[in-house]
Amino acid sequence: MNLGVLKDRIFGTAPTVALIVCAVMATDYLVNIVLLNTPNAYTPVSTLLIALVVAAPLSYWLTSQRQRLERLRDDLSASLDAKQEAIEEADRRRGEAEEAERLYRLLSDNLTDHVALWSPKGERVYSSPSIQRITGYTLDEFMALPPQAMVSEADFARVQKLIRGLTPGGPPATADYECTRKDGTLIWLESAYSLLGDGSGILLVTSRDITERKQLELDIAKALELAETASAAKSDFLANMTHELRTPLTAIIGFAEVLRRSRGLSQTAARQVGHILDASNTLLSVVNDVLDFSRLEAGGLELDPAPFDPAAMASSCAALVEERAVAKGLVIKVKASKGLRPMNLDGPRLSQVLLNFLSNAVKFTAHGSITVALSQKVEGDAALLRGAVTDTGIGIAPEHLDNIFDRFSQADAAVSRRFGGTGLGLAISRRIVERMEGQIGVDSVEGRGSTFWFEVRGPLAELAAPEEEAAPLLDGEGGVRLLLVEDNAVNRELIKTMLEPFGVDVETANDGVAGVEAMRQGHFDLVLMDVQMPVMDGLTATREIRAMEGARGAATPIVAMTANVLPEQIANCLAAGMDDHLGKPINPTKLLETVARWSGRTHTA
């Protein structure tokens, strides 16, 4: 027993001892003095001592018993409290478990997705009731079905393979497959499979109905196919249209060119022929723009990078618009920074952009000057090329600047009425520059002028050494025998008119069959072959001629002369065995150069 407990007991005993002693003393007094009146028998000191001797141990024992009982009571009540707390905790946990189960049931009963658990032996352990909504089978019916009942053999095998590749606790694998519902209809399901990572080997599968999404995907694919067919039809239509437009333009431009060069025209007639040429060239550039734009829209523009000289590009583009500029009293300045280095870019396409800027500058400027500026920022073995055309023309109002590079966009109706145009040139330019991953833009002040610019990056390059001999020109001495295979009578006459003054002896054939026959009969230095012809087209005729020549061991140069000018059409000509391509409408200078170049040589097959 420790000192504290002893002290408690002693202090706890004292009141009892005092009470007993007081009671004994009082009793002694009452009995001896008050009741019996025997003062001699009244011995308070002895009574006190006896009382103390008896009361002390008695009280001590009583107190210790009381304290023990109190302790027992305290222990009992503490254990009762603990029990109560345990009961309350158990109740709380049961309540939580019931709530969790209720929520889980709510969830699994109302899930649109289906949740299933499979034992490692491939038996269904659990399936959420949503299966009925998805497949039409009740939960009991579904649990009794074999696993492969609703899917095709191939899909079942695919999914099994997927499951075999799973690792416990690893990432889930997903699969889409068709599933046959109880009523026989087909739906698409998407399932995610994962192996639980708790060592139980249980497979968790969550599946959802994706029929609507699949239908949407199918609809989109169908719509895309339709759009592609429509776009292909549009491209075919445009290719045909441009072919049909180019054919008469060949005659118009060709004969106008012949007339312009003839000496016997009066001044008025010469001016009128000039108008015919200008108008038909404008029409030709519209045809070219429409064809170009449709190809760019269809993403069919293939760039053909080759070493080119930016400074030469600037001067040749400026030269092309110079005549028109001078006629309007405009000055054209070319400012190419010193030491511009050749680059590996699609030069002709970049020239098209610069030429479009320049043509617009001439068109929209009445007085002043037009400046073409080219600069280059060399970055290692590449460079950033900037081309800009600045004019002092009508400028563009700020509200039109944002969409000036959009297709069919013209600054405003008044401008388009006054100046004409298709609104395609800048849209084509933008697409070409974007295709080169460059930038295009304009700065303009209305009434003061505009600067159209582009920036493109490309590798620096070395220019190939210039060809040793320039294309020979026809000397007019004669001696060139040329076979022209062309179904259009006007074109036959045009080519003859253009070539005969230069001593070219032109024999004609009206279609491919006649062309092959002429080649069988005679010897020619060169063949100009149209492509689209009745009876036999130019490609077939070329193949037949090449087969015939193969047997003889000689080959005559064949040059396509056609309104089919798309790159794939040119490639077809070369693949059929032709050596070169001349696009219609025929440019007289190019025609003469081509005839001179090929008539002097023998084709090497």
Q: Rounded to whole angstroms, what are the CA distances from 403 to 248, 407, 423?
A: 35, 9, 11
Q: Is 425 one of the binding residues for ligand ADP (CB under 6 A)? A: yes
Q: Which of 127, 207, 450, 488 binds ligand ADP (CB under 6 A)?
A: 450
Nearer to ligand ADP, 342 or 393 (CB): 393
Q: Does 422 bind ligand ADP (CB under 6 A)?
A: yes
Token pair for 238: 């445009």
Nearer to ligand ADP, 73 or 328 (CB): 328
CA pair distance 485, 279, nearest whole angstrom? 29
54 closest CA partner among 65, 66, 46: 46
DSSP H helical segments within 328-463, as ranges? 347-363, 398-401, 413-419, 425-435
Q: Which stretch binds ligand ADP (CB under 6 A): 193-201, 242-250, 338-346, 419-427?
A: 419-427
Residue 82 has φ and ψ, to the nearest 5°, of: -60, -40
Closest CB to ligand ADP among residues 180, 416? 416
Least Å from the CB of residue 395 to ligand ADP: 6
In this structure, are residues 334 and 372 in contact, taking their beta carbons and an 8 Å threshold?
yes
Q: Does 390 bind ligand ADP (CB under 6 A)?
A: no
Contact 492, 533 (CB under 8 A): no
**Subset of residues 325 to 364 that bind ligand ADP, contact rule: CB under 6 A:** 356, 360-361, 364
* Nearer to ligand ADP among residue 425 and residue 515 (C-beta): 425
**Count of positions on this chain that bind ligand ADP (CB under 6 A):** 23
By CB under 6 A, the residues from 122 to 181 that bind ligand ADP are none
Q: How far is the CB of 302 from ligand ADP (least distance, A)?
A: 23
Closer of 164 and 417 to ligand ADP (Cβ): 417
Q: Which of 423, 441, 588, 600 binds ligand ADP (CB under 6 A)?
A: 423
Helix, strand, coil share (%) of the chain residues, nearest 5 = 55, 20, 30
**Antiparallel, parallel or unpaired: β 124-127 and 114-118:** antiparallel
* Binds ligand ADP (CB under 6 A): choice among 189, 291, 374, 394: 394
Peptide bond into 585 cis (omega under 30): yes
Answer yes or no whether residue 393 interacts with ligand ADP by CB under 6 A.
yes
Q: Does 28 bind ligand ADP (CB under 6 A)?
A: no
Looking at beta carbons only, is 411 or 541 nearer to ligand ADP? 411
Strand order in 439-445's β-sheet?
331-336, 369-379, 382-391, 449-459, 439-445
- Contact residue for ligand ADP among 391, 537, 579, 580 (CB under 6 A): 391
Contact pick of 253, 321, 336, 424 for ligand ADP (by CB under 6 A): 424
CB atoms within 10 A of CB 430: 21
Judged by CB under 6 A, does residue 281 bind ligand ADP? no
Task: Using the minimum distance from each CB to ligand ADP, give the nearer residue, 308 or 364.
Answer: 364
Q: Pick the stretch among 139-147, 194-202, 296-304, 422-430 that binds ligand ADP (CB under 6 A).
A: 422-430
| E-only strand ranges, 210-260 | none
415 lies in the site for ligand ADP, by CB under 6 A:
yes
Give the start-end residues of each E strand in 94-247: 114-118, 124-127, 173-180, 186-195, 203-209
Question: What tokens does 81 get?
Answer: 């409290």
Report the interface residues with ligand ADP, using CB under 6 A.
356, 360-361, 364, 391, 393-396, 404, 409-411, 415-416, 421-427, 450
